[in-house]
């Protein structure tokens, strides 16, 4: 199963609504064959299809796409209101960029700070990163802040921050295949970045963290 996370969450959402795939197809206007492929994990839905299904299933589209966010629908404003307002908080740095060869703790391009809960902070090392560009729209927009747990690997289907060929970090959906990986934009106008196992070692391609939360300011 290539797209295990989305497949698992789609099944969970269907079960929670006591809905069969045919009903989801009828209400979302997505071909039933495509939905069957999403359920068995052989294909990943586009961001548009994810949004349509999430609307029918009344779940958060970001959750359906593999983010560590609540399953329940959440308006963008909710991402701006930190749950730390009522609980002890830990301040983390928000970086404007992450470059190859520079340890995250040594990056001087600090543009802001954010707060995370002590509970979250106990699970690892975290930093914030400001997103540049439109490759992850409409879910993640230019100027948004993502909260990232530092880690060197992630599951297929998760959103990661990766360094490619010595360039600044990119935010993409990670997909793993036999013999390689791809880094996929949520914006369909951008082609996937495909890498063989040799490419991963030679370029190199290096995962620096997993996106666990989105913060959006208005």
Q: What are phi and psi of 137, to 5 degrees?
A: -70, 155
Exactly one of 28, 50, 156, 172 is catalytic; which is it?
172
pLDDT for residue 82 is more than 70: no
- For the question of residue 135 being annotated catalytic, the response is yes
Per residue in 170-216, pLDDT (tens digit) is 999 999 888 999 999 988 888 999 999 999 999 889 999 999 998 87
Angstrom distance (rounded) from CA 27 to CA 18: 14
Average pLDDT over residues 32-42: 89
- Out of 135, 156, 185, 210, which one is annotated catalytic? 135
Note whether 188 and 52 are within 8 A (CB): no
pLDDT digits (tens, 9 = 90+) for 150-164: 999 998 888 999 998
Contact present, 167 and 182 (Cβ < 8 Å)? no
Going by C-alpha positions, the residue among 82, 176, 156, 161 that lies closest to residue 127 is 161
Could you give the domains of the chain?
4-74 (1.10.260.40), 86-215 (2.10.109.10)
What's the token pair of residue 163? Answer: 């360094």
Distance CA(83)–CA(77), nearest Å, equals 12
């Amino acid at each position: 199963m290539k797209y295990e996370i989305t497949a698992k969450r789609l099944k969970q959402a269907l079960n929670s609504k006591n809905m069969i795939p045919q009903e989801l197809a009828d209400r979302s206007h997505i071909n039933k064959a495509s939905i069957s492929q999403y359920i068995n994990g052989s294909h990943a839905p586009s961001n548009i299809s994810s949004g349509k299904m999430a609307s029918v299933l009344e779940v958060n589209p970001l959750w359906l796409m593999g983010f560590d966010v609540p399953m329940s629908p959440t308006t963008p404003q909710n991402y701006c209101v930190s749950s730390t307002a009522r609980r002890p908080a830990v301040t983390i740095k928000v970086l404007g960029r992450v470059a190859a060869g520079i340890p995250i703790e040594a990056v001087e391009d600090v543009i802001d700070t954010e707060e995370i809960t002590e509970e979250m902070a106990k699970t690892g090392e975290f930093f914030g990163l400001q997103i540049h560009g439109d490759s992850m729209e409409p879910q993640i927009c230019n100027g948004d802040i993502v909260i990232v747990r530092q880690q060197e690997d992630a599951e297929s289907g998760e959103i990661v921050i990766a360094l490619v060929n010595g360039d600044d970090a990119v935010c993409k959906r990670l997909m793993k295949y036999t013999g390689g990986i791809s880094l996929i934009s949520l914006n369909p106008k951008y082609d996937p970045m495909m890498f063989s196992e040799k490419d991963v070692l030679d370029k190199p391609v290096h995962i620096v963290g997993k996106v666990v939360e989105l913060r959006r300011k208005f």
